[in-house]
A and B are shown apart, each in its own frame.
Chain A
Amino acid sequence: MVGGRLKGRHSLRPGSSTVNEIAFRLYLLAGASLVAIGFFGILASAELLRKILGVNIMGSGIFLILVALAARTTDPIPDPVPHAMVLTGIVVSVCGTALALALADRVRAMKAREMLDEEEEE
């Protein structure tokens, strides 16, 4: 079945070759592994910074998958819609990370204050 799809893509897309096929799969697999690594990072530690980094890694994996899936077409050029979504998504995810870091810093500051208050009560 895989062989049939390889042939199909060959005949439909003049620019594609076996090397491109392998690259396409490598992109997908790399994206999937980044998602899995990020998933582990989010859940493995209670530290907020590690969780934020995990979300970032997971997001990078999803961007990689989306960019690669744009080539999954019979048209001569890749689908520009996922590419445009990734382009804006990268900038938005950087901003999301910044907001998450600011919130994490706030959480740390409030925790520190709570500990100080407890010490004073004792």
Chain B
Amino acid sequence: MKKRSLLAWLAGLLFLLLSGALLTLPISPGSLAGASVEALARSGVGNPVTAVLLNYRAYDTLLEVGVLLLVVIGVWSLRECDAQRVDTSEWILLLPLLRLVLPVLVLVGGYFLWIGSALPGGAFQGGAMIGGALVLAISAGLLHRVLEHQGKLRAGLAMGLAVFVAVAAGTAAVNGQILHYPQASAGLWILLVEAAALISIGLTLGALFYGGRPPQGSAQSPAREFDRE
């Protein structure tokens, strides 16, 4: 108990020190906002955050997409997921509702990807929507339906990094600089990389939610009885 109160005091002290430091910071004249807006016309996109993510500092983002794949590999090697069938036949509203909601969520994810070139949005936000759709589907007992497509699932998980690395290698081969897109087609290259990253991010978030590698042999299971149509 005494230790806890000491800790609480320490946390309070941390708050005071941190807020004191933050509130007395001077406004910085050396921000990168000006530079990022100046180069925006040459970046291929109209949203400075997307330009930072996929053009100016695309190398960072490449490594982050790699981190996502590494995490999935890590989680899959630690655990096997619980792919037990859930009997959803009692929930008469859930599956029809999901039939409506899931495609809309995927559509919204794609919309986020598309508007990311000009407005707040992009692969990470769109990926979160697709991840949410997967979480919803898995929570509704449809994990076995996801695991039916294991080949596609694995390919999709790796696709973001694979496309990103391929584009990096291509740009390195063409003009000697990694992820230095040709200016005229920069927007297209960014869209290509983002579209692949969107799918990988969405699938990664969904795969992490069910928390383990698919059990052996689940790919062959028929798992058709809940398919009413």
Contact = CB atoms under 8 A, between A and B. Distances in A.
Of listed B27, B36, B67, B128, residue having the most chain A CB within 10 A: B27
B11 A92 contact: no
Sorting the interface of chain B by its residue count into under 10, 10 to 19, 20 to 34 or 35 or more gives 35 or more
A106 B8 CA distance: 30
Given A39-B11, A94-B205, A102-B74, A74 B18 contact: no
Interface string A69-85: 10011111111110110
Contacts of A95: 67-68, 71-72, 204-205, 208
A35 B14 contact: yes
Nearest to B29: A74
Contact of A35 (B4, B15, B36, B37): B15
Given A35-B18, A102-B78, A44 B49 contact: no
Interface in B19-52: 19, 22-23, 25-29, 31-34, 36-37, 48-49, 51-52
B31 A72 contact: yes
A87 B79 contact: no
B33 A77 contact: yes
B142 interface: no
Contact of A92 (B68, B72, B209): B68
Interface residues of A, number: 46
B31 A92 contact: no
Contact of A80 (B28, B36, B209): B36
Interface stretch (B57-65, B88-96, B162-170, B184-192): B57-65
A86 to B, nearest CB: 10
Contacts of A36: 11-12, 14-15, 18
A21 to B, nearest CB: 11
B174 interface: no
A98 to B, nearest CB: 4
A3 B48 CA distance: 31
B174 to A, nearest CB: 25
Nearest to B36: A80
Contacts of A12: 27
A102 B15 contact: no
Nearest to A12: B27
A101 interface: yes
Contacts of A5: 26-27
A75 B31 contact: yes
Interface string A21-57: 0000100110111011101100110000000000000
B78 A72 contact: no
Contacts of A87: 49, 53, 122, 124-125
Contacts of A78: 33
A-B complex: 8 closest residue pairs judged by Cβ atoms: A73-B31, A36-B15, A98-B208, A75-B33, A80-B48, A40-B11, A84-B52, A95-B71
9 contacts: A9-B27, A28-B22, A39-B14, A72-B25, A73-B29, A80-B52, A83-B52, A91-B201, A95-B205
Interface of B: 4, 7-8, 10-12, 14-15, 18-19, 22-23, 25-29, 31-34, 36-37, 48-49, 51-53, 57, 60-61, 64, 67-68, 71-72, 74-75, 78-79, 122, 124-125, 127-128, 201, 204-205, 208-209, 211-212
